[in-house]
């Protein structure tokens, strides 16, 4: 399978290049970056100490056309630009970008009527297993337990809470029959009053080089249950994205997530 990696010069882009080159059965067909990025023109493999002969390009249309699947962990605007090129060329997509608006999510869903897409806020196998665990916990523990979600990421992450934390909130609110838009609380300050028993709290930490940590707390009377996933490096996300690309190889169209990829549905 021939891969195109967007955002090649970024932290996730480099991890994806490294994992793709080491995979043996996947081919790096193209690596893309935004115009003006200093890595344009460099050998993509040299970024990770494995020269491969693929030059990083800024021509999205030409680059996309070289692959069977484009993997994108960039920003919403960039991802949507790549989506348009993938639609024109009939190229599948793996989308790990977060921070989309509702309207942007709708554009991706509409595109999935023509091409196959895996879109997930977190590609880690462990995190996706945790989604199932928190769903079971929420259904079993019910209204007697308060829910708080903590997440921590590196200092360069620009959105908060993380897409993964929000996904945990969506899974839990659905299991409990709540409207997350009404019950979500994003941090607390001052005299906020007694806790709303239906609230789902979100708390974000940013600092250093934390790859990603998420803890979901179910807090009851005399008992606290915690489900935690800590990622030590971006390799876990890259490996999940490559697994998602392989999953799409047999798909012509449709919108999937990592629950589909991992067979957790």
Q: Give the Cα separation of 256 and 245 in Å (integer).
A: 11
Find the farthest-apart pair of alpha carbons in the chain and give their distance in angstroms, rounded: 61
Contact 220, 144 (CB under 8 A): yes
Q: Which of 66, 82, 153, 203 is catalytic?
A: 153
Instruction: State pLDDT tens for residues 194-249.
Output: 999 999 999 999 999 999 999 999 999 999 999 999 998 889 999 999 999 999 99
What pLDDT digit, counting tens, does each position of 140-160 carry?
999 999 999 999 999 999 999
**Cβ-contact 252, 242 below 8 angstroms:** no
As a whole number of Å, the CA-based R_g of the chain is 19
**CATH topology assigned to domain 125-231:** Dihydrodipicolinate Reductase; domain 2 (3.30.360)
The answer, yes or no, to whether the previous bond of 161 is cis (omega within 30 of 0) is yes
Domain boundaries defined on the chain: 2-119+234-261, 125-231
Predicted confidence at residue 66, as pLDDT, reads 87
Architecture in CATH of 2-119+234-261: 3-Layer(aba) Sandwich (3.40)
89 is a catalytic site residue: no
The beta-strand segments (E) located in the chain are: 2-6, 27-32, 56-57, 69-72, 92-95, 116-119, 146-153, 184-186, 200-206, 212-220, 223-231, 254-256
pLDDT in tens, 22-57: 998 899 999 999 999 999 999 999 999 999 999 999
The two structure tokens encoding residue 259: 């629950």
By C-alpha distance, which of 127, 245, 152, 138 is closest to 204?
A: 152
89, 157, 198, 251: which one is catalytic?
Answer: 157
Active-site residue, 157 included: yes
Q: pLDDT tens-digit profile of 61-116? A: 677 888 999 999 999 999 999 999 999 999 999 999 988 999 999 999 999 999 99
Mean pLDDT, the chain, integer: 95
């Amino acid at each position: 399978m021939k891969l195109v990696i967007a955002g090649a010069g970024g932290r996730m882009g480099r991890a994806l290049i490294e994992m793709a080159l080491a995979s043996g059965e996947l081919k790096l067909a193209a690596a893309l970056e935004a115009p003006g990025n200093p890595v344009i023109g460099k050998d993509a493999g040299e970024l990770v100490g494995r020269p491969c002969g693929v030059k990083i390009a800024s021509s999205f249309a030409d680059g996309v056309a070289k692959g069977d699947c484009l993997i994108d962990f960039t920003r919403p605007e960039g991802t949507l630009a790549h989506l348009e090129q993938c639609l024109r060329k009939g190229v599948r997509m793996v989308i790990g970008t977060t921070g989309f608006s509702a309207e942007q999510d709708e554009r991706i869903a509409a595109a999935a009527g023509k091409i196959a897409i895996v879109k997930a806020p977190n590609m880690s196998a462990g995190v996706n297993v945790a989604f199932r665990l928190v769903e079971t916990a929420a259904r079993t523990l019910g209204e007697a337990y308060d829910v708080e979600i903590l997440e921590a990421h590196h200092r360069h992450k620009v959105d908060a809470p993380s897409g993964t934390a929000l996904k945990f909130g969506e899974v839990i609110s659905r299991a409990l029959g709540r409207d997350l838009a009404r019950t979500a609380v994003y941090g607390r300050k001052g005299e906020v009053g007694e806790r709303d028993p239906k609230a789902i709290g979100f708390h974000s930490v940013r600092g250093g080089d934390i790859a990603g940590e998420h803890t979901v707390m179910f807090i009851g009377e005399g008992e606290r249950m915690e489900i935690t996933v800590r990622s030590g490096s971006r390799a876990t996300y890259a490996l999940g994205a490559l697994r998602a690309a392989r999953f799409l190889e047999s798909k012509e169209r449709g919108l999937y997530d990592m629950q589909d990829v991992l067979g957790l549905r």
